[in-house]
Structure 1
Amino acid sequence: MSALYRLTATETRLFFREPMIVFFTLGFPPILLGILGAIPAFRQPEETLGGLRVIDLYAPIIVAMGLAMFALNSLCQLFATYREKGVLRRLRTTPVEPRVMLGAQLLMSTIMSVVTMLVVLAVGRLAFDVRLPRQVPAYLVGYVLAALAMFAIGLLVASIAPTGRSAGAIGTLLFFPVVFFAGLWVPRDSMNDVLRTISDFTPLGAGVQSLQDATAGHWPQLLHVAVMIGWTLVAGGLAARYFRWE
């Protein structure tokens, strides 16, 4: 455990040495929420949305988008860069095991993404009166499951990509369909039945619906919990299987 904590602290310091990554993962989500909230139409209740406003729907979507940015831009690219530059090869000569390195990456990304989530919720509440989750434990469960699923996918990309640039390219290709089915362009409530069904079986589609359910005061649906756990186990298992030091 001490090795895990030390590696996590080191990874956190290295994370803050990349200003562009820090901006897009920590700063961009709340800025985007502010831009969307500044649109007057997004602050008006809609009968077709059950009396909710568009900005109410976008708060959990942007929280989920933050997870995708961490997993598919920051996490996978930094990890693959370590392999490319020989950092992992040098670590191989130490007692550090692959699962400890993977765990440190996951822990650091989880902590940083939680900070982003709290900032987004604070901006939404203070600036646009977006309601906070009525079922906080359920919200945390949905968030953690979505984070684990996305980070497992990010680590899988990092484990198989030969370079940091290729990891970034793969992550970018995955980012857009993932956030589309999370509702970034078309909120889930406005999707047709086919798109919503596909969304239910994606990690962020299931995650966004779980966050919305918790905000309304309900626990996540079993289907969405199973989907997120499934993505975590499959992608995480493959990441551990194909992990390479160099």
Structure 2
Amino acid sequence: MTTYRPSARAWALLAWTEAKLVTRDTAGLVIPLVLPMLIMVMYGLGADGAGTERFRGVPAFDAHVVPMTLVMVVALIGMVNMPAVLAAYRRSGVLRRLEVTPARPVMILVAQVVAALAQVLVGVVLALLVARLAFGMSMPRDPLIAIGVFCLVTAAMYALGMLVAAIAPTPNAAVAIGLVLFFATMALGGGFGPRENLPDGLATLGEYLPYGAGVEALSATWMGVAPDLWHLAALAGAAVLAGAAAAKAFCWD
């Protein structure tokens, strides 16, 4: 018997449908579109703004605030927004019903990833435009490496999000688990203050968790230095391990 394989047009149509559903959730767009710009404005207008402290000749705003904001947005969408949607689809039986159609449940996963990536890209572009036009942000000294690091950060955060979606029994549980994971990695990664203020063991751990490793690697590209290989390895390891665990644990109903 011939097995039906959905065409590229079917994949694209499903991704487009998911993207339209996302745009109808006005509240859900606050995080990827408004929050990055708000953070840029808040730090840019701060009393100790971009021009005081410098790292390798790069203002603190460029070297730390901008990378931290980019990682924060990717982490929120990857670990909180996307798992909640997938958990809701599983809870409502959408994935189970797809099993008896020519489509496959995995198409929903791919479509959700594409829709989430679109949100990330729009939010990042808007935030960078605000930082550039309003506060004179410089672009990364190694733009191609910065793009590569950003892709690696995205892969790690989305893999963790898939793992959250795999183990969360309900949408509310997905949000709760995702927020706990997000704030824990953010706190250890320096999102609430310098990592040096933490005990040595926690500071070291936070540096190599996806949030801290992502901020450090992106900061390096803004300052024109090569990202630490251990930070890149930590991001790649998180993407591979969390992705493999999610694939093994994920259930469709």
Q: TM-score, normalised by structure 2?
A: 0.88
* Residue in 1 that maps onto 2:48: 41
* Residue in 2 that maps onto 1:55: 61
In the alignment, is residue 90 of structure 1 matched against residue 97 of structure 2? yes
Q: Distance in 1 between matches of 2:59 and 2:211?
A: 21
Larger CA Rg, structure 1 vs 2: 2
CA contact (8 A) 2:98 2:105 kept: no
* Residue in 2 that maps onto 1:150: 157
In the alignment, is residue 177 of structure 1 matched against residue 190 of structure 2? no
In the alignment, is residue 103 of structure 1 matched against residue 110 of structure 2? yes
Q: Distance in 2 between matches of 1:99 and 1:204?
A: 27
* Residue in 2 that maps onto 1:78: 85
Task: Read off the aligned partner of 2:18 and give its amino acid letter.
Answer: E
Give identity over the alignment, percent: 33
Q: Distance in 2 between matches of 1:46 and 1:195?
A: 25
Task: Read off the aligned partner of 2:163 and give its amino acid letter.
Answer: L
**What is the Cα deviation at residue 171 of structure 1?**
0.8
Task: Read off the aligned partner of 1:55 and give its amino acid letter.
Answer: F
Q: Distance in 1 between matches of 2:21 and 2:137?
A: 34
Q: TM-score, normalised by structure 1?
A: 0.91
Task: Read off the aligned partner of 1:59 and give its amino acid letter.
Answer: V
CA contact (8 A) 2:189 2:203 kept: no
**What is the Cα deviation at residue 218 of structure 1?**
3.0
Task: Read off the aligned partner of 2:116 and give its amino acid letter.
Answer: S
Pick aligned residue for 1:232 from 232, 239, 244? 239
**What is the Cα deviation at residue 196 of structure 1?**
4.2
Q: Distance in 1 between matches of 2:234 and 2:12?
A: 30
Q: Distance in 1 between matches of 2:29 and 2:229?
A: 34
**What is the Cα deviation at residue 195 of structure 1?**
4.5
Task: Read off the aligned partner of 1:27 and give its amino acid letter.
Answer: V
Structure 1 residue runs of 5 or longer lacking an equivalent are none
Q: Distance in 1 between matches of 2:245 and 2:161?
A: 11
Any idea what the Cα deviations from partners look like across 1:58-109, whole Å, max 9, x if unmatched? 1110111001110122101111011111111111212333443322222221
CA contact (8 A) 1:43 1:55 kept: yes
Q: Distance in 1 between matches of 2:67 and 2:194?
A: 10
CA contact (8 A) 1:62 1:184 kept: no
**What is the Cα deviation at residue 173 of structure 1?**
0.9
Alpha carbons of 1:190 and 1:216: their partners in 2 closer, same or farther (altered >3 Å)? farther
* Residue in 2 that maps onto 1:18: 25
* Residue in 2 that maps onto 1:214: 221
Stretch of structure 1 that moved more, 188-197 or 211-220? 188-197
CA contact (8 A) 2:164 2:178 kept: yes
